[in-house]
């Protein structure tokens, strides 16, 4: 991996970064990724990412939880060992709503979160590429892979400076 | 362009920059523990050790070390359980419900409140395990196939619902808290060297703050908040079902679920208030947890306290109106029977005292807020004591009427939970950032005096 050369534009303000990303993408520069200390709303759209669809994962895991909980309560209470309590139904649905609800929430929350970890390749042993350590503190950073761009290093560097970058560094990874 | 209403109070004072936020919050994680921290932590560990010894004695000797008798079968154990679970509601309420309502002031207090939630739920669960008397049989509460024939837990029982509700609530709260921590752990990782970098690096699971990750992260947070909001309401609803589905006068009440949830938020906010008032001074975070935050929390305390007050009065009215003699007696006995003092302690602490917060001077007075938060939690403990003990001690059969007196076992096992709670909270506040740096930074522009020119635009 030591052959990739990145140009790292450092901004002092999130809004400046947002506008810069819009500008330089307009000029046809391909951006590797932007790194910010907190979520900048609209940045994903400016970078051309599709709308995050974590809700789909939450729904699928949630519905799995619902089905599992219904099967669990129905099978144990109604099939495997039905208990006669004063002649009532073996499987009264209303009393199983709490269990079904809790298991739905449990699976939806954990399923979605682990899907998120998986999609973002997050894990205790993952080795992230950090373009600028200050990007988790107070700097807003944009990384551009030079190999994937037609424009030269100096041209992109000039564009970044013009759109408000306080520093432009080169980083090889 | 950030549009900020001119009447919006500033949430971060003294013109903090993004870097100041990082420095101020990371300082206590990176520095050596202070003398004050060592002293208070040492005291909590001693209290925890004393409590732990008593818990083991409770299990060794049996529940006879408690003051329970054949009429009063639930007393301090379940009182403490409900009290701690109630306290544990504020964290998720602050982080989930206030997130859905887009309340920016939650950013300074949500981290500590969520940590408090987790520790409070552990304390609550410890009373459930304690009151089993034989904790090695705790797995009986789980739907496991067993060697005695495939007899399952009874899913019609609120006690089983409780097992599911509390464990789901605990695990989802831990998850929500951890996901909130990831960006801050990455901040600490990027500042650290050596072992600390390795430990926080592993905990930060490779977070870089990429735009795609942030977009998904925000989506995950919002959906988790949406899932946690009904979850937090369901937990205390189910706790209240433990009582409401029984046929004990004073317990068999349809008002219980909303009334318990309001009470839980009430006591939870009081506990958050106590912890934050101390933490902001010890860690010098007055610029982040401001009088505005304290005053807003006091407003919620007043609101929920009033809801609880209306519930008390409604209960009394419905008992009178129902025409059921047993129900009527249960309520008359609460207010005028041998345990009258606990009823009136509850009424004074929970209904009357928070009304003082209608005055702005009182609401913004730190000492009064602190004392009031303690008073509220004493009141909420008595509420559970009143519901449990006074409903039980005079049951259907006058020949078994009795009084409840706590013994050393009750008191020491309660002390155990404080030892655990404070030990855990002090460890958290030393090794993890007590304020959510990423979220505070995100509201800095709209809610700090650092950007006055933006304010003028809309003023």
Which of A:11-70 have CB within 8 Å of B?
14-15, 33-41, 43-44, 47, 49, 52-55, 58
Question: Rounded to a whole number, what is the distance in Å from the CA of B162 to chain A's nearest CA?
Answer: 9
Q: Is the Cβ–Cβ distance between A102 and B168 less than 8 Å?
A: yes
By the CB < 8 Å criterion, does A77 face chain B? yes
Last residue of a domain, one of A75, A98, A119: A119
* Subunit contact B223:A121, Cβ cutoff 8 A: no
Interface contact flag, B22 A137, Cβ < 8 Å: yes
- Closest residue by Cα to residue A123 from A132, A113, A133, A131: A113
Structural domain boundaries enclosing B353: 18-142+151-458
Task: State residue B455's pLDDT score.
Answer: 44
Mean pLDDT (chain B, rounded): 91
Q: How far is A43 from chain B (nearest CA, A)?
A: 7
Q: Are A91 and B202 in contact (CB under 8 A)?
A: no
The answer on A45 and A17 residing in a single domain is yes
> What domain count does chain B have?
1
Question: Would you say residue B326 lies in a domain?
Answer: yes
Position A27 in a domain:
yes
Q: What is the torsional sign of CA B273, B278, B281, B283? A: negative
Residue B214 lies in a domain: yes
Complex prediction ipTM: 0.93
CATH number, residue A11: 3.30.70
Cβ–Cβ < 8 Å for A143, A7: yes
Among A119, A140, A164, where does a domain finish? A119
Of chain B residues 361-380, which have a CB less than 8 A from chain A?
none
pLDDT in tens, B417-442: 999 999 999 999 999 999 999 999 98
Domain check: are A29 and A74 in the same one?
A: no
Number of domains in chain A: 2
Residue that wins the pLDDT comparison between A93 and B210: B210
**Does residue A45 sit in the same domain as residue A29?**
yes
A166 belongs to a structural domain: yes
Predicted confidence (pLDDT) at residue A80 exceeds the cutoff of 90? no
Residue B390: inside a domain: yes
Q: Are residues A80 and A30 in the same domain?
A: no
Query: Which residue range is the domain that position A45 belongs to?
Result: 5-51+130-172
On whether both A25 and A60 belong to a single domain, the answer is no
On whether residue A61 sits in a domain, the answer given is yes
Interface membership of A107 toward B (CB under 8 Å): no
The encoded tokens of residue B446 equal 């709209």
- Token pair, residue B31, equals 């520095």
CA distance B206 to B229: 29
A65 and A109 part of one domain: yes
pLDDT digits (tens, 9 = 90+) for B162-196: 999 999 999 999 999 999 999 999 999 999 989 99
pLDDT at A15 over 50: yes
Q: Is residue A111 part of a domain?
A: yes
CA distance B74 to chain A (A): 24
Chain B interface includes A122 (CB < 8 A): yes
pLDDT digits (tens, 9 = 90+) for A36-59: 999 999 999 999 999 999 999 999
| B28 falls within a domain | yes
- Using alpha carbons only, give the angle B396, B161, A87 rounded to the nearest 5 degrees: 60
* CB-based contact B230 A81, cutoff 8 Å: no
Residue of B nearest to A130 (CA): B208
For B205, which of A81, A109, A124 is closest by C-beta distance? A124
C-alpha B323/C-alpha B164 separation (Å) is 36
B302 pLDDT more than 60? yes
Do residues B104 and B33 make contact, with C-beta atoms less than 8 angstroms apart? Answer: no
pLDDT of residue B456: 43
Q: What is the pLDDT of residue B454?
A: 46
């Amino acid at each position: 991996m030591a052959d990739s050369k990145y140009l790292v534009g450092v901004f002092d303000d999130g809004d400046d970064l947002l506008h810069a990303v819009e500008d330089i993408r307009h000029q046809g520069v391909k951006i590797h990724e932007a790194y910010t200390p907190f979520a900048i709303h609209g940045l994903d759209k400016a970078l051309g990412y599709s709308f995050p669809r974590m809700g789909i994962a939450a729904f699928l895991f949630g519905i799995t939880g619902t089905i599992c909980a219904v099967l669990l309560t129905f099978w144990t209470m109604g099939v495997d060992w039905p208990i006669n309590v004063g002649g009532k139904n073996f499987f009264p649905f209303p009393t199983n709503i709490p269990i079904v609800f809790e298991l739905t929430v449990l699976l939806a929350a954990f399923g979605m979160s682990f899907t998120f970890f998986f999609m973002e390749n997050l894990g205790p042993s993952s080795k992230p590429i950090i373009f600028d350590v200050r990007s988790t503190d107070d700097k807003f950073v944009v990384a551009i892979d030079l190999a994937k761009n037609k424009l030269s290093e100096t041209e992109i560097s000039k564009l970044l400076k013009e759109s408000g970058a306080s520093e432009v560094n080169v980083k090889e990874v | 362009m950030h549009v900020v209403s001119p009447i919006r109070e500033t949430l971060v004072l003294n013109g903090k920059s993004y870097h100041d936020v990082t420095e101020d919050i990371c300082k206590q994680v990176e520095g050596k523990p202070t003398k004050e921290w060592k002293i208070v932590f040492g005291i909590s560990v001693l209290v925890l050790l004393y409590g732990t010894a008593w818990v083991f004695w409770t299990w060794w000797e049996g529940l006879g070390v408690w003051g329970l008798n054949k009429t009063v079968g639930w007393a301090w154990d379940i009182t403490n359980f409900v009290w701690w679970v109630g306290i544990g509601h504020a964290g998720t309420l602050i982080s989930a419900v206030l997130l859905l309502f887009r309340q920016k002031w939650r950013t300074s207090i949500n981290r500590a409140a969520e940590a408090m939630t987790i520790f409070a739920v552990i304390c609550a669960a410890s009373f459930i395990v304690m009151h089993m008397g034989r904790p090695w049989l705790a797995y009986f509460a789980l739907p496991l196939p067993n060697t005695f024939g495939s007899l399952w837990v009874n899913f019609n029982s609120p006690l089983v619902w409780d097992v599911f509700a509390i464990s789901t609530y605990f695990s989802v709260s831990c998850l929500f808290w951890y996901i909130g921590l990831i960006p801050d752990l990455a901040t600490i990782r990027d500042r650290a060297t050596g072992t600390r970098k390795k430990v926080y690096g592993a905990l930060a699971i490779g977070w870089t703050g990429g735009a795609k990750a942030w977009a998904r992260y925000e989506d995950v947070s919002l959906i988790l908040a949406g899932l946690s909001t009904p979850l937090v309401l369901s937990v205390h609803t189910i706790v209240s079902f433990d009582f409401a589905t029984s046929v004990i006068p004073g317990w068999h009440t349809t008002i219980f679920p909303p009334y318990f949830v309001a009470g839980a938020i009430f006591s939870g906010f009081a506990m958050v208030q106590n912890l934050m008032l101390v933490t902001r001074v010890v860690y010098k975070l007055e610029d982040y947890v401001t009088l505005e935050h304290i005053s807003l929390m006091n407003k919620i305390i007043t609101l929920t306290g009033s809801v609880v007050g209306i519930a008390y009065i409604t209960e009394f009215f419905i008992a009178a109106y129902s025409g059921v003699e047993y129900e009527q007696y249960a309520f008359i006995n609460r207010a005028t029977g041998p345990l009258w003092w606990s009823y009136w302690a509850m009424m004074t602490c929970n209904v009357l005292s928070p009304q003082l917060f209608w005055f702005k001077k009182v609401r913004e007075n730190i000492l009064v807020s602190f004392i009031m938060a303690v008073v509220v939690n004493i009141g909420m403990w008595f509420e559970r004591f009143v519901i449990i003990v006074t409903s039980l001690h005079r049951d259907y059969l006058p020949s078994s009427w009795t009084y409840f007196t706590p013994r050393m076992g009750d008191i020491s096992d309660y002390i155990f939970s404080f030892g655990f709670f404070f030990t855990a909270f002090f460890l958290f506040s030393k090794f993890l950032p007590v304020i959510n740096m990423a979220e505070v930074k995100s509201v800095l522009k709209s809610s700090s005096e650092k950007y006055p020119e933006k304010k003028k635009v809309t003023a």
